[in-house]
A and B are shown apart, each in its own frame.
Chain A
């Protein structure tokens, strides 16, 4: 009887140790560097969401479109854009009515507006598996003026970009 008790205790202890060794620490599920979330609104009715027709977004210095949105879609009224972690500014070309010209050399025929976001990067430790991620603070923006801006107004809702739902920037067009 006494030995049974001892044996039971041993099994309990070994089970507990077994369970403490099952760790979720190997896969990062707890966090990620957030995206800059932009929503498009109607300039005439500032509470109404309005998708941009055939929207294409290209990062400055890249020859590929941003990988977070469907290219040349006319249904997007809310998008997420990745910012550069190792810089304090990231520029994108926002192209409305994006299309290729006909002919041998294909060129963009849509209306290109270049928007520049400025921010500071903050490093945050998330968990053992994820390590550090970046959050952004002091978000600001400048637009490169050209003769035909389709973006009429830009409004920063929140200057801090964290992993929280909700848009950071409103674009009116």
Chain B
């Protein structure tokens, strides 16, 4: 029984080999075999923000990301998110809460082997955020301890909300996306941001901007990290355009 099964397999594999040979022969005679790459929309969610929302009481956040492939290396990319973060400083406590949108491009700089679609990319974004800041409580700093040896004089303990704050910034991104299994990608990126505009007030400045992260005194730079899980929705397939460069014939 087993013997016959193996022999049948062998016979069949012969046929298989034959038929393959035939087809490849016919195609190579007429035109070279073209490898078609999938184009489409990739949508994802930021895992780190979801995880931090569960782990930390002071943070809730959610970010959706998406990119659409427009040619061999270029992707149009966007992120849409919402964050709420409470920060306890030495003498005050505040909550920043709001939404943000980032638009830009990713440029894949990784040449994939046949059948793979991973990426190591550089990207740029223009981002804007609309949010509010709430000063929950504060005390007045005084290094002289003559009148209050024990503690600092508390200010108002009624929460004070500063609405309609907004900011915009540009981001420079270095990241990677790796295909875990069919159409599922795990991505990570580091982002360096530079504030372009920031609506402030003397009473209470913006110390945390949703999407931008912490704002540092006297600096317009910020940085953030992003870990995303995304799903690729293939829309159409297009052949990889042949390389114009000489001396690299294998990538046709």
Contact A24 B217 (CB under 8 A): yes
Identify which of B56-64, B66-74, B198-206 touches chain A.
B198-206
- Find the B residue at minimum CB distance from A84: B147
- Find the A residue at minimum CB distance from B109: A6
Residues of chain B with a CB closer than 8 A to A128's CB: 89, 207, 216-217
With A13-B192, A128-B217 already in contact, the answer to whether A20 and B89 are too (CB < 8 A) is: no
**SS of A interface (majority):** loop
Residues of chain A with a CB closer than 8 A to B153's CB: 85-86, 134
Residues of chain A with a CB closer than 8 A to B90's CB: 28, 129, 131
Residues of chain B with a CB closer than 8 A to A85's CB: 140, 142, 147-148, 153
Interface size band for B:
35 or more
The distance in angstroms between the C-alpha atoms of A33 and B153, with both chains bound, is 11
Residues of chain A with a CB closer than 8 A to B89's CB: 128-129, 131
Contact A131 B139 (CB under 8 A): yes
Contact B192 A20 (CB under 8 A): yes
With A16-B192, A123-B155, A131-B92 already in contact, the answer to whether A32 and B217 are too (CB < 8 A) is: no
Could you list 25 A-B pairs, sorted by A, with CB under 8 Å?
A16-B192, A20-B222, A23-B216, A25-B217, A28-B141, A33-B141, A66-B146, A67-B145, A82-B147, A83-B147, A85-B147, A85-B153, A123-B155, A125-B203, A125-B204, A129-B89, A131-B89, A131-B92, A131-B138, A131-B139, A132-B155, A133-B140, A133-B141, A133-B142, A134-B142
Excluding A6-B109, A13-B172, 20 further A-B contacts by CB distance (< 8 Å) are A6-B120, A9-B122, A13-B192, A16-B221, A23-B216, A25-B216, A32-B141, A59-B147, A67-B144, A67-B145, A67-B146, A83-B147, A125-B202, A125-B205, A129-B89, A130-B91, A131-B139, A132-B155, A133-B140, A133-B141
